[in-house]
């Protein structure tokens, strides 16, 4: 049954894949046989990842993409189709959080940027990519949400709201595109040791608190998400759609009252 996890002959776009979670997912997918398009705002960083993948015998191509504009997303899709001639899978990984603090302090500009990048651009990408995936007879679209969507806090509430809305987007896209055999799911990482989440773990006390509140006793690594992202694109997940897959070491199921 190993073939169920293989991605040979498939083509995948992974946004925000020059580092962190996106890179781990792209490298895992390439290791399972997919041709991956590495994209982020900085082309040189994408080319570095592409080089690493190809040196290991994988297939990858790099292009710069600022997902905040339709034109850039259209160019990303065009690059993929010109390079590989098809599209089977997308992982929407780009997110921003320019503001820390309660909702009462969020400037309109920060709110608009968070919602525009984390939600609207994901919808744009889906509306562009899903018709191409449908031409192949089906495939997958995976959004990287967050366990922050499942609970409130005072540190990053606007970001959490955008990620909860992204789950709603995934569920509705799953219903819309299911008849075309396209599966749409969300991965909800916990605290992962990435530059994006550095403010949540980058001091000994914060790291200790996370470890103590996580049953597995550690902060997540990007590779912990890589396999889940690849799995959701594979035939092993062919009957999974509209779901939120929590990958957090058990943090959200841990009671803090006993």
Residue 204 CA to chain centroid, in angstroms?
27
Query: Would 141 be classed as within a structural domain?
Result: yes
CATH of the domain at 52: 3.40.50.720
Q: How many domains does the chain have?
A: 1
- Give the pLDDT of residue 197: 72
Query: Would 101 be classed as within a structural domain?
Result: yes
Comparing CA positions, the residue from 96, 110, 98, 95 lying closest to residue 143 is 95
Q: What is the pLDDT of residues 150-179, one digit of tens each?
A: 999 999 999 999 999 999 999 999 999 999
Question: Concatenated DSSP letters for 31-50?
Answer: HTT-EEEEEES-HHHHHHHH
Average pLDDT over residues 239-250: 97
Query: Would 238 be classed as within a structural domain?
Result: yes
Q: Which two tokens stand for residue 207?
A: 């790291």
Average pLDDT over residues 207-211: 86
Q: Which of 84, 100, 159, 239 is catalytic?
A: 159
Q: What is the pLDDT of residues 21-39, one digit of tens each?
A: 999 999 999 999 999 999 9
Query: Would 256 be classed as within a structural domain?
Result: no
Which has the higher per-residue pLDDT, 109 or 212? 109
Query: Would 255 be classed as within a structural domain?
Result: no
Question: What domain range includes position 33?
Answer: 2-249
| Beta strands across the sheet bearing 59-64 | 59-64, 35-40, 11-15, 89-92, 139-144, 182-189, 244-247
Query: Would 125 be classed as within a structural domain?
Result: yes
Query: Would 166 be classed as within a structural domain?
Result: yes
In sequence order, the 6+-apart residues with CB closer than 8 A to the CB of 76 are: 13, 15, 37, 39, 63, 65, 67
- Give the pLDDT of residue 205: 83
pLDDT averaged over every residue in the chain: 95
Query: Would 213 be classed as within a structural domain?
Result: yes
Q: Which two tokens stand for residue 64?
A: 């710069």
Q: Is the pLDDT of residue 258 over 70?
A: no
Q: What is the pLDDT of residues 58-84, one digit of tens each?
A: 999 999 999 999 999 999 999 999 999
Catalytic, 159? Answer yes
Q: In Å, what is the CA distance from 149 to each residue of 57, 65, 90, 193?
A: 37, 26, 21, 19
67 neighbors 117 (Cβ within 8 angstroms): yes
- Give the pLDDT of residue 55: 98
């Amino acid at each position: 049954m190993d073939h169920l996890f293989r991605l040979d002959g498939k083509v995948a776009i992974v946004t925000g894949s020059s580092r962190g979670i996106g890179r781990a997912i792209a490298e895992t997918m390439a290791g399972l046989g997919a041709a991956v398009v590495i994209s982020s705002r900085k082309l040189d960083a994408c080319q570095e990842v592409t080089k690493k993948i190809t040196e290991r015998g994988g297939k990858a191509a790099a292009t710069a993409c600022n997902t905040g504009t339709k034109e850039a997303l259209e160019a990303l899709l065009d690059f993929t189709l010109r390079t590989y001639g098809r599209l089977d899978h997308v992982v929407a990984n780009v997110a921003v959080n320019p503001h820390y603090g309660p909702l009462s302090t969020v400037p309109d500009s920060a709110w608009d940027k968070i919602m525009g990048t984390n939600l609207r651009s994901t919808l744009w990408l889906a509306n562009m990519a899903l018709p191409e995936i449908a031409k192949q007879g089906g495939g997958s679209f995976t959004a990287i949400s967050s366990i922050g969507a499942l609970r409130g806090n005072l540190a990053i509430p606007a970001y959490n709201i955008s990620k909860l809305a992204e789950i709603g987007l995934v569920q509705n896209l799953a219903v819309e595109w299911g008849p075309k055999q396209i599966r749409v799911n969300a991965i909800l990482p916990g605290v992962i040791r990435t530059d994006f989440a550095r403010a949540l773990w980058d001091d000994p006390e914060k790291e200790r608190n996370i470890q103590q509140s996580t049953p597995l006793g550690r902060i997540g690594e990007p590779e912990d998400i890589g396999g889940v992202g690849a799995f959701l694109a594979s035939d092993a997940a062919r009957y999974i759609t509209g779901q939120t897959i929590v990958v957090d070491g058990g943090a959200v199921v841990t009671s803090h009252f006993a």
